Amino acid sequence: MSKTFRVFVTCDIGDSLNELRERGYEVEVYPKPEAPPKSLIIEKVKSGIDGMITTLRDQIDGEVFEAGKNTLKAVAQIAVGFDNINRADANRYKIPFTHTADVLTEATAEFAFFMTGMLARKMWPAEHLLRKNQWGYWHPYLPFLGDEVTSKTVAIIGTGRIGLAMIRKCSGFDMNMLCYDPAYENRDYIKAIQEIMDLRLARGITKEKNWIKYVPFEEALGEADFASVHVPLLRAGESATPTYHLFNEKTLRLMKPTAYLVNTSRGPVVDEAALARALRENWIAGAALDVYEKEPLPADSPLRDPAIEDRCRLMPHFASAARITRLSADPNKGMAGRCVQGLIDVLEGNYGGDVTKMPYVVNKEAFQK
């Protein structure tokens, strides 16, 4: 390597950064746990850095790319979602950006599944009861009962990598599935899952027939006992099928009063004011959220209303937060490792320098010959 690359990292991502240091890179890590101010990002980019490692907390837009015109060569995001990076702006400035898809798929899907179960089986209010020393007796139905997930119907909203992994988890719990994807239907996958379900029934492993199918959004919401959201955040103008506020007053009202909503995708896919109302007024039975319109969740969020506390589980954007998933330096296992590898690919011109062949680059369209 003839040149020393300079990289600014907006948040410590652990030992994976040593891979860059060992290759002779100059690596500067923003030392605080919270995101750096945008003015600092711009200052660093203006200073001529070659690459930047970002988190979903950093707004990377035209202003940042302009500051790095002719110097910034790559942005590597440690996340699968990249709605904080303005793709059109990146393309305008011809700056490739990478993400860490795949390595967090199972962690996120299993967390969505656990949240579903925790919510439906009322584990949080049940433990609180015990801790408040209000567990006075075993009783067949007092003080409350939960709902099983087994044999129920789950709407899988978004059948990309994580949605498909959620389908696998749910099929293991003998659930029926109504799938919806605004952009792309993976019918081969759905067919394979149906075949596996049919085999399980034929061999006596399950007792009832389970099924899976694609349906329109309204039908999925109207018939499901659970809805699990796995779409990327796409605002109006970013896609022919935007997902911003896909769950709003109108669509939440389509759900059954006994149904639960689970969101591990991006907060703005759900209109939180409408959801808080849906919970207060019992349009739906409960919700479990890992992501929010504004993160961290503001102190005055209507989702914190004590009146809905028993049926509203709130997690701190935690679905991919498993040790290996987040920090392994192995690009095939960890977000940190994959993020670093994505940066190296671009800066060192791997794959013959052809950005369109680099597996972790998102905006390949800007580099098509």
239, two tokens: 């896609």
- For strands 312-314 and 153-157, give the pairing: unpaired
* DSSP β-bridge partners for residue 156: 179, 228
Catalytic residue among 99, 313, 317, 338: 317
Interface ranges with ligand GLV (CB under 6 A): 56, 79-81, 104, 320
DSSP state of 192: H
Cβ closer to ligand GLV: 104 or 288? 104
The residue assigned the tokens 């479990």 is 288
Can you tell me the distance from the alpha carbon of 242 to that of 225, in angstroms, rounded to the nearest whole number? 24
Provide CB contacts within 8 A for 54, sequence distance 6+.
Answer: 10, 60, 75, 76, 77, 78, 84, 85
Catalytic residue among 99, 245, 266, 311: 266
Can you tell me the distance from the alpha carbon of 8 to that of 123, in angstroms, rounded to the nearest whole number? 42
Cβ closer to ligand GLV: 5 or 292? 292
Q: Is 235 part of the annotated catalytic residue set?
A: no
Cβ closer to ligand GLV: 59 or 206? 59
Catalytic residue among 26, 208, 281, 295: 295
Output the smallest distance, CB 203 to ligand GLV, in A.
Answer: 37
Output the smallest distance, CB 329 to ligand GLV, in A.
Answer: 17
298, two tokens: 């503001």
Alpha helices in the chain (DSSP H): 17-22, 38-46, 62-67, 87-92, 105-120, 123-131, 161-172, 187-202, 217-223, 249-252, 272-280, 323-327, 335-347
| CB-side neighbour CA atoms (13 Å) of 260 | 27
Output the smallest distance, CB 99 to ligand GLV, in A.
Answer: 8
Q: Is 266 part of the annotated catalytic residue set?
A: yes
Output the smallest distance, CB 335 to ligand GLV, in A.
Answer: 7
Cβ closer to ligand GLV: 243 or 320? 320
Can you tell me the distance from the alpha carbon of 248 to that of 229, in angstroms, rounded to the nearest whole number? 13
Output the smallest distance, CB 79 to ligand GLV, in A.
Answer: 3
6-9 sheet: strands from edge to edge: 26-29, 6-9, 51-54, 74-77, 97-98
Q: Is 317 part of the annotated catalytic residue set?
A: yes
| CB-side neighbour CA atoms (13 Å) of 41 | 23
Annotated catalytic residues are 266, 295, 317
